[in-house]
Amino acid sequence: MTNASTPDFDLSAELDATRGWDDSGDSDIDLDDGFESGYAEESDLGEDPEVTTGDQDLAERYALRRVAGLSTELHDITEVEYRQLRLERVVLVGVWTEGTVTDAENHLAELALLAETAGSEVLDAIYQRRSSPDPATYVGRGKVEGIREIVQATGADTVICDGELAPSQLRNLEDRLKVKVVDRTALILDIFAQHAKSKEGQAQVELAQLTYMKQRLRGWGGNLSRQVGGRVAGGAGIGGRGPGETKIETDRRRINTKIAKLRRQLAAMKGTRDVKRQERRRHHVPSVAIAGYTNAGKSSLLNRLTGAGVLVEDALFATLDPTTRRTTTADGRVYTMSDTVGFVRHLPHQLVEAFRSTLEEVADADLVLHVVDGSHPDPESQIAAVREVFAEIGASEVPEIIVINKADLADPLAVARVRQREPHSVVVSAKTGEGIDEALAMVEGELPRPGVEFSALVPYDRGDLINRLHQRAEIDALEHTADGTMVRGRAHPDLAGELASYAV
């Protein structure tokens, strides 16, 4: 077989044949014909909307979310040491000891909202009618078996109990259910840990978590009962107590050391807060504290009243760090308005103690705006829960205005019922602006007023004194004369003393 003959290849001839390719067809092809760019034209771009700090905080919070189904928890919960709260698929358990069926269902609904805020998916909920929780397993023995069947049928990896469990109850439930068990206190602490932003807030949450954890240390069976060997250097190392010390004793000592360090840090931060508070007192600047149940709309109300621009989210405990803004009354008097951490039914005492320095803003205020969620099924219970915390922090005697928020969503009958029980109240909607003017008028009417009357002829070279009168006093009459400014009104004693030399 022979190969077929092929013509000789000539490179120069081939290059000559392609020489006109780049220029051919230019007149026939319009590259711009029918072409639409995917980018917006500069003339179409409007001005960027103003982004507040609250918008930035909310975007940062949504940038990191827990992903369902990516659990790394061990199946045998007895092998878990120092477990972090990574809730995914949960079953809720409650004990109904008093009240009506509606109350019990409302409590479980609130627990479900807490669980969803922490990043979990609620699969089922169950409650038991008992005179008191079982001292061994929180619910009865038969109910424990029923919960175990629900857990196995739904594939849940966590059970959340609507109450604070003793260490023995926690251990007994986990041993019988074979899944992680979390109580209401640990759930709230986890939400606080997720949402705390400031250095003070993070330290307060860590202090509360360590206080809670200290009595609930667990390990691999008898792991925490292991003792140190004969030589300290070969056992616990420098700082140990010597032979015979168990691991749980070492861990508790380290936790106590950390708690003491956090308390020193918070004491230093409290000093800074006290200095700012004393400065406001020295200048007689009234303070108004916005307090109330969590997710009642406190931050939305602060934004509406002062334009603060703080984070707003339809979630429980969305904002933890207090925010203070300066504002003025219609007649020019300066006062401050502060947003505080939200309260909740059975707020863990660890959190109350840890956040005491922050909650003192409410006790030291001249007026409290008690915000109530008007759309809640039982707003009266929210008012009672908040007032319990007021009594615990010494704020019961502070003048109070009940602000019924979310008027655009509230049931008119429920609003009327609350207003009948709380005559000193106002109905508003922080979203639509309804009732805001009436609320501001009530606030201005309740602010402390200067008590010393004055009448003075202030020279024109004391414009600074006139400015302070506008900010800190009440001016009844002001007239500009040839000799100076004639002014009459009421002021605080120190400011009235400065006017004594110009009295007429």
415-462 residue pLDDT tens = 999 999 998 999 999 888 899 999 999 998 888 888 788 888 999 988
| Token digits of residue 481 | 């004369």
pLDDT value at residue 230: 47
pLDDT digit string, tens, across residues 465-504:
888 888 888 888 888 988 889 999 888 888 888 888 888 8
> What values do phi and psi take at 452, rounded to 5?
-105, 120
Lowest mean pLDDT among 146-155, 302-311, 336-345, 392-401: 302-311
pLDDT value at residue 428: 93
What's the order of all strands across the beta sheet hosting 452-458? 452-458, 485-491, 474-480
| 80, pLDDT greater than 70 | no
- Report the top-level CATH class of 284-446: alpha beta
pLDDT digit string, tens, across residues 3-44:
555 556 677 777 777 776 655 455 454 545 555 555 545 444
Domain positions in the chain: 77-194, 197-229+245-283, 284-446, 452-502
**Around 145, how many Cα atoms within 13 Å sit in the side-chain half-sphere?**
2
pLDDT digit string, tens, across residues 362-389:
888 899 999 999 998 889 989 999 999 8
Between CA 183 and CA 172 the distance in angstroms is 13
| Token digits of residue 62 | 């949504």
C-alpha Rg value of the chain to the nearest Å: 33
Query: Is residue 288 within 8 Å of 369, Cβ to Cβ?
Result: yes
Torsion of CA 293, 388, 109, 420, to 10 degrees: -70
CATH pick for 77-194 out of 3.40.1280.30, 3.40.50.970, 3.40.50.11060, 3.40.710.10: 3.40.50.11060
**Beta 334-339 vs 323-328: how paired, if at all?**
antiparallel
Query: Is residue 363 within 8 Å of 393, Cβ to Cβ?
Result: yes
Evaluate whether 77-194 and 284-446 have a shared fold: yes
What is the chain's mean pLDDT, rounded? Answer: 79
pLDDT category, 308, cuts 50, 70, 90?
Answer: confident
pLDDT value at residue 20: 65
Query: Is residue 162 within 8 Å of 107, Cβ to Cβ?
Result: yes
List of residues 6+ apart from 57 with CB closer than 8 A: 197, 310, 311
**Residue showing tokens 């074979």:** 178
Lowest mean pLDDT among 202-211, 240-249, 341-350: 240-249
